[in-house]
Amino acid sequence: MTRLSVNINKIATLRNSRGGNVPDVVAVAQDIERFGAEGITVHPRPDERHIRYQDARDLKSVVTTEYNIEGNPIPKFVDLVLEVKPTQVTLVPDSVDAITSNAGWDTHKNADFLKEVISTFKDAGIRTSIFVDPVSKQVEGAAKTGADRIELYTETYAKTFVKDPQQAVRSFTEAAVVANEVGLGINAGHDLNLDNIRYFKENVPNLLEVSIGHALICESLYLGLENVINMYLHRLK
Ligand SMILES: CC(=O)[C@@H](O)[C@H](O)COP(=O)(O)O
Ligand SMILES: NCC(=O)COP(=O)(O)O
């Protein structure tokens, strides 16, 4: 089974564009769960341009499915995650000024740092996942950090899929085979959408979870949030 975790960053972007509390991020998260999503993802960035640290705290008591917090483990983020204790923390090496996540970890160069931070989260009972490019060597390095899972960074898949789906998915299938061999669970995310999700799921063995935000919210402008969530669930069956 592949779980759908909905990333609600864009709901917060909309709210922040006007001040006030419309749309209400917490209420939308509850509705997303009621519509059938199996998880909620947030990615608070240091400048809090969309999800605020307080949102991450407020969501803890209302999310009843799986709560996933993503981000670069700077000290402020580590403290937040240890306070909130989500189901899962996904470590992403994004720089402060990045528009969005744009690379996976070099799991070899950052091995000592990752080992330390992962053991801190695991000691607190939080499942850990690290964001990696679909490269076997990086997946092998991820296993050595003690992480429970990897999140495969799917931007290259989404870009190439429109021209050549087979070529697009090849490195992801290979990375997943390695992850399965070394005992890592497999998540995926970034730029996944209604057009490319089914083929990805069909070609990545043991895909446990996808987190989807930007496209899902854009698609919902035309098709409605409840409908779109159910379209994803159907494609992930
Ligand atoms: C790790 C990942 O790919 C997503 O969490 C992405 O970073 C979304 O963040 P933004 O909404 O800030 O683009
Ligand atoms: N981890 C990926 C995520 O949460 C959503 O990424 P995107 O769908 O907004 O590109």
Q: Does the active-site annotation cover 234?
A: no
The Cα 32–Cα 34 span in angstroms is: 5
Q: Does the active-site annotation cover 43?
A: yes
User: Which member of 38, 66, 70, 209 is catalytic?
Assistant: 70
Tokens coding 215: 């496209």
Taking phi first (over 0 means left), then psi (-120 to 50 degrees means alpha), and beta for anything else, what does residue 183 get?
left
Does the C-beta of 213 come closer than 6 Å to ligand 1?
yes
pLDDT score, position 98: 87
Q: What is the ipTM of this complex?
A: 0.96
pLDDT score, position 35: 98
Is 176:204 a contact under the CB 8 Å cutoff? Answer: yes
Does the C-beta of 219 come closer than 6 Å to ligand 2?
no
Does the C-beta of 73 come closer than 6 Å to ligand 2?
no
pLDDT score, position 47: 92
Ligand 2 midpoint to CA 140 (Å) = 23
Ligand 2 atom closest to Cα of residue 155:
10
Ligand 1 atom closest to Cα of residue 155:
3
Nearest residue to 186 via CA among 154, 150, 135, 235: 150
Q: What is the pTM of this model?
A: 0.97
Residue nearest atom 12 in ligand 1 by C-alpha distance: 100
Q: Does the active-site annotation cover 108?
A: no
The structural domains of the chain, ordered by start, are 3-236 (3.20.20.70)
**Quick one: how far is CA 170 from the chain centroid?**
21
Is 207:186 a contact under the CB 8 Å cutoff? Answer: yes
**Full pLDDT tens readout for the chain, 237 residues:** 999 999 999 999 999 999 999 999 999 999 999 999 999 999 999 999 999 999 999 999 999 999 999 999 999 999 999 999 999 999 999 888 888 999 999 999 999 999 999 999 999 999 999 999 999 999 999 999 999 999 999 999 999 999 999 999 999 999 999 999 999 999 999 999 999 999 999 999 999 999 999 999 999 999 999 999 999 999 999
